[in-house]
Amino acid sequence: MTETYRRIVLAGRPDGAVQPEHFRIETGDVPRPEEGQVLVRNHFLSLDPYMRGRMNDSKSYAAPQPLGETMIGATVGAVVESRSPKFAAGDIVVGMYGWSEYGCSDGAGLMKVDTSHVAESAYLGVAGMPGMTGWYGLNKVIEPKAGETIVVSAASGAVGGVVGQLAKIAGCRAVGIAGGPEKCAYVVDQLGFDACVDYKAAPDRETLARRLKDATPDGVDGYFENVGGVVMNTVLARLNPFARVAVCGLISGYDDAGGAAPIERPGQFLVSRFKMQGFIVSDHLPLWPQGLKELATHVATGRLKYRETIARGIAAAPEAFIGLLKGRNFGKQLVDLS
């Protein structure tokens, strides 16, 4: 008897908003590992904004996701059969097996993780690539100094939550921007930010600017950008001299063929002499062991909190991804594949 498994492939490229029909579920036989290979049953799939860029056929920092192939994505799961000396059945491993219930490979890029004090799903979030993204952007681009004010957009998300909590650990004032009272309350009450501005509650830009000003009485020294658009332009106008802006994402423009809204006032670069720098965490692999170790330690000791939104079953992945692009998730968006 041959077992089957399911995976999701890219069925079409969106011209604007992502729709369910851009994905297709496929069923195949569970592969048998060859000599040197491992077979992994994936427990969780990570959904992340970067996937949206891969769905386009345009030049970017990474090659486009090919049509008809398994959607890219990070996974965590258990080795069920190993013909590699490096892995044993039962090992919990993080990999890039994509939107798929199973993965089979020679183990390159596969990382064994210790789940004794950190839940396996956390290795896809706060102690994984999203956490590392926050760690790198904050520590290596913003370089916070104690007493400074650090603002992060999408503050309740997987990356944003890490940025603010690490900023607090560094002795900074941490201010979030998030959509809705529930997310803002979580950012302040659970994650320990000093303040959070609800951008959805501001009826116009002037109100948003005033609320940001109230939350940042000493101005903004560091800004971790996840969203772009109006939020970005509002924060840029509030930067102190010599501020640093880490551009991690511009999700507000990902579904728009024109991309994120412009930076309206480049003259601010001269008024505030700030630095704005885009980064991709995968450019900095040599720093991952250090960063991931710090993050896992913070998680294990309870200094780094996180929240997950978990969709059940692989068939739910497309809707969950569409929800992520619209900000419907709350914390790290995962799909439970078990």
* Residues contacting its own copies: total by CB under 8 A: 34
Q: Please, which residue, 259 or 289, has the CB nearer to its own copies?
A: 259
Q: Does 210 bind its own copies (CB under 8 A)?
A: no
- Span of 36-44, 105-113, 270-278, 290-298 interacting with its own copies by CB under 8 A: 270-278
Among 31, 210, 230, 279, binds its own copies (CB under 8 A): 279
- Cα–Cα distance, 6 to 305 (Å, whole number): 32
Q: Does 232 bind its own copies (CB under 8 A)?
A: yes
- Cα–Cα distance, 303 to 286 (Å, whole number): 24
Q: Please, which residue, 38 or 260, has the CB nearer to its own copies?
A: 260
- Token look-up 């009826």 returns 203
- Cα–Cα distance, 2 to 299 (Å, whole number): 40
DSSP-derived letter for residue 70 is B
Q: Please, which residue, 75 or 233, has the CB nearer to its own copies?
A: 233
Q: Please, which residue, 269 or 330, has the CB nearer to its own copies?
A: 269
Q: Does 273 bind its own copies (CB under 8 A)?
A: yes
Question: DSSP assignment of 128-197, as one string?
Answer: SHHHHHHHHIIIIII---TT-EEEEESTTSHHHHHHHHHHHHTT-EEEEEESSHHHHHIIIIIT--SEEE
Q: Does 61 bind its own copies (CB under 8 A)?
A: yes
- Cα–Cα distance, 245 to 227 (Å, whole number): 13
Q: Does 278 bind its own copies (CB under 8 A)?
A: yes
Binding mask 12-51 for its own copies (x = CB under 8 A): ----------------------------------------
Taking residue 161's Cβ as centre, other Cβ atoms within 10 Å add up to 31
Nearest approach in angstroms of CB 74 to its own copies is 19
CA Rg value for the chain: 20
Q: Does 207 bind its own copies (CB under 8 A)?
A: no
Q: Residue 220's beta-bridge partner residues?
A: 239
Q: Does 283 bind its own copies (CB under 8 A)?
A: yes
CB 244 within 8 A of CB 275: yes
Cα 25 from chain centroid (whole Å): 24
Q: Does 206 bind its own copies (CB under 8 A)?
A: no
Q: Does 217 bind its own copies (CB under 8 A)?
A: no
Q: Which two tokens stand for residue 101?
A: 């219930």
- Span of 91-99, 162-170, 198-206, 247-255 interacting with its own copies by CB under 8 A: 247-255
Q: Does 228 bind its own copies (CB under 8 A)?
A: yes
Cα 75 from chain centroid (whole Å): 14
Q: Does 325 bind its own copies (CB under 8 A)?
A: no
Residue among 246, 249, 241, 247 at smallest CA distance from 274: 241
- Span of 39-47, 256-264, 291-299, 330-338 interacting with its own copies by CB under 8 A: 256-264
- Token look-up 């439970």 returns 336
Among 85, 217, 266, 286, binds its own copies (CB under 8 A): 266
User: Which stretches of the chain bind its own copies, using CB under 8 A?
Assistant: 53, 59-61, 228, 232, 241, 247, 249-250, 253, 259-280, 283
